[in-house]
Every structure is written in structure tokens, then in C-alpha cells.
Chains A and B, each alone.
Chain A
Amino acid sequence: MVLGADATSPRGQMLLGAGAILTERHLRLLAANGVERVEVETPGQAQGRPAPAADPAQLEARLETRFAHNDTGHPLIRELKRICRSRNEGGETDGD
């Protein structure tokens, strides 16, 4: 499990940086420092990757923007667009 955002104590002291691989020891130490919850990366979603689109209209708008420099009638671009769509629908943004 990977820490998705910096973990800080209730007083704002930095305890553990985003990207750290969380161990049992980390969780114990965080709890001991008053941290009740941390943000973790969901599987297959690396740090900084765009979050999946919330609804089909948002997804289509985002794909439209992302492929704006390309001829979406070209077979390769059409396929790439289809794959992006299905990865988003499946909640995946990469292939890990």
C-alpha cells in the first residue's frame, strides 16, 4: 500500500512523505502521533495520475480534449481512444 499524500500530525508536523510504501510499523507510528486517517493510492493509480472521470459526459469531454491534436478518424487514434475509455470505465488509468 502506497501513501497517496503527505501524512502530517494534527499539529501539522510532517511525518511521512507521499509515495512511501506503508508498513505495519508506519501505521503504528502514525497512529501514535494522532493520525487517524491517511490517503492511499488505489491499485493501478500512480501518484499524480488524473482521477477517473465521474460520468460519461465528463469522460467524453476529457477524451475530446486529450485527442484534440489528432484525427480521431485514424484507426490507431480510434483504438487509443477506445482503450482510454475502457480503462477509465474500469477505474484503471494504467496497466500495472
Chain B
Amino acid sequence: METELKTLVSRTNELASLPEVVMRAVDMINDPDASAADIGNVIADDPALTARLLKIVNSPFYGFPSRIDTVSRAITVVGTLELLDLILATSVMKAFTGIPTELVNMDEFWEHSLYTGVVSRVLATRHRAPSSERFFIAGLLHDIGSLVIYRHRPEQAASILERARGSVVPLHVLEREAFGFDHGQVGAELMRTWHLPEHLVASACWHHQPMEVDEHQLEVAIVHLADVIASAVYPTASETERVPPMDARAWDLIGLPADSIDSIISDADNQFADARAAILPSASAA
């Protein structure tokens, strides 16, 4: 099954590779000799990416008081790691095309993902976790493995989605029965081939089994809960219409009272409109 998982991902990688400039920027994370200015220079080689990034960091979603005009200034204000996460988010979203529309409405897919990202960010802030932006990106990208499955196994995916609608067995379990792996593992494998940071890999891989991971447990638990919350309050017609099973231990781990959920969702709703306008490809094109 491991071989089949790698084959699936390598086929995707041929069609949905990240741009060279993004790969170079990602590799710089691990290079202790690379400075913020070096990273800025790499990104500035790609005017379209630079424009997208500046649009996002100047949006109300970030709410910085003064205008940010250059990538190096964005790195100073937003932080190197956060900016790299944003580069990944916007590049990954653009990397997927050719997904069968009868299986998934891409606007809905990214709306659910974006809402999950926003709820992750709000939960992380409430938990007083440092660098809440990491959580936003982890939530945004948690389901990208589903896109790989939709694209390369469309008939099986359609059959599994249909079964999930009328089943007491959750979608990710049906995927494992059919393929030997689920969409979380597929997303994680794709992220590894793209050299993405480990906390993003872990969040994608384990978002349906948050307590089975040893490292990055907080990130995984928060993305797991955000997925449950988003599925409950921001449902889409093309998904299974079921809220994935919540692991109560994840909720205990972040230690928030259940009656705080109203204000968490209210914060998420407020941030979602700004995030949608700044980040979603269809909103950008409008």
C-alpha cells in the first residue's frame, strides 16, 4: 500500500508541482546561512508571487496599520516563517487544476479549507499558542490529499463519497478500507515531496486521529477540532454532510470551555470574509 501511495503522489507531483521559486524559498528555511534579505530576493524574482503576497499582507485579514510595499518589509513585519507559510498556501492552492467538477466544487472545497484555517487560527490565539499563523496554514491545507484522490482515483472516490453519505463509518475509514490509506496520509506524502514543514505534514496526516501523533500534537489537535467545527457550522453540499468524529481528548488538550464556542465562531466568521477576499483564487479573480 505504501508503494501505491507513493505512486499516486508522484503522479500528482508531475502535474501539480510547486514553482521553482517556491521550492528554493522553502529550502532556505533549513539553511542557517540564508537571511531574510536572501529569501526576499528569491521571492522578488517572481512578480506574480510577490504581488499575491503583498495583496494578502496588506488585506484587512492581517490588518497592519501601514502599507507594506516590499517582500523584505513583509518579512520584517510578518516574520520569515509566516511569510513562507503564506507563499506555500497561495502556491499550493494554485497548483491544483483539473479536478473533476462532478466530484467536488473547488470553490466549496477551498471555502471549507479556508474556514478550517481561520478556526484553527482563532483556537490557537485563544489557547495563547505562539505564532497563530502556522495554525491557519495547517488548517487551510489539511485536506489537499482529497484533491489527489479525486484527480487520480475519480471513480473510486465517487463511490466512497456515496457510501459515506449513507454510512455510519466515517469517510477516512472507508478510504482506508478501499485504498489502504486515507486522504490525510496522501496529503502528508505530497507535502513531504514538496519539502513542506513537518508541522504541516503532521497536521494533514493525523487530522482524523489527533492523539496518535507524538510531535506537533497541539497543531494536529487544533486542526482536528477546527475541521469538526467547520464541518458543523460551514457545511457544503458536495461533502458527506457528516461532521467527522471528534476526539474528546483533543478538546481537553486545548483546555477551552465549551461555552466559548459561540465567540470562537463569531471571531472566525468575522475573519473569514477578509481571508476569503485576500486568499481564495476565485475571490481574487472577481
Do chains A and B stick together as partners? yes
- A69 touching B168 in the complex, CB below 8 Å, given contacts A83-B261, A94-B233, A95-B233: yes
Contact A71 B111 (CB under 8 A): no
B105 contacts which chain A residues (CB < 8 A)? 47-48
Residues A66 and B258 in contact, CB atoms below 8 Å apart:
no
A28 adjacent to chain B (CB < 8 Å):
no
Residues of A within 8 A of B82 (CB): none
A interface residues, how many (CB within 8 angstroms): 29
A75 touches B272 (CB 8 A): no
| Contact across chains for A66 and B241 when beta carbons are under 8 A apart | yes
Whether A87 lies near B246 (C-beta < 8 A) is no
- Grouping DSSP codes into helix (H, G, I), strand (E, B) and loop, the A interface class, with mixed when no group exceeds half, is loop
Cross-interface CB contact of B232 among A71, A84, A95, cutoff 8 Å: A84
- The answer, yes or no, to whether A91 is at the interface (CB within 8 Å) is no
The answer to whether B175 has its CB under 8 Å from any CB of chain A is no
Asked if B262 lies at the interface with its beta carbon under 8 angstroms from chain A, I say yes
Q: How large is the interface on B (under 10, 10 to 19, 20 to 34, 35 or more residues)?
A: 35 or more
Interface membership of B41, Cβ < 8 A: no
Query: Is B245 in the interface zone, CB < 8 Å from A?
Result: yes
Checking A49, A68, A87 against B237 with a beta-carbon cut-off of 8 angstroms, the contacting residue is: A49
Q: Nearest Cβ distance between residue B104 and chain A, in whole angstroms?
A: 10
Most chain-A Cβ atoms within 10 A of its Cβ — which of B232, B270, B273?
Answer: B232
How far is the CB of B116 from the nearest CB of chain A, in Å? 13
A69 contacts B242, C-beta separation under 8 Å: yes
CA distance A67 to B242 in the complex (A): 6
Does any Cβ of A come within 8 Å of B282's Cβ? yes
Which of A66, A71, A74 is the one whose CB lies under 8 Å from B235? A66
| A79 to B242 CA separation, bound complex (whole angstroms) | 16
**Known contacts A47-B107, A50-B235, A96-B273; A77/B246 CB under 8 A:** yes
Partner among A46, A47, A68, A83 whose Cβ is within 8 Å of the Cβ of B265? A83
User: CA of A34 to CA of B259 in the docked complex: distance in angstroms?
Assistant: 53
Which A residues have a C-beta under 8 Å from some C-beta of B? 19, 21, 46-50, 65-71, 74-81, 83-84, 87, 93-96
Residues of B bordering A, CB below 8 Å = 105, 107-108, 111, 168, 170, 225, 228-229, 232-238, 241-246, 248, 251, 258-259, 261-262, 265-266, 268-270, 272-273, 282, 286
Q: List 8 A-B contacts (CB under 8 A).
A: A47-B105, A50-B235, A66-B242, A70-B228, A76-B248, A80-B233, A94-B269, A96-B272
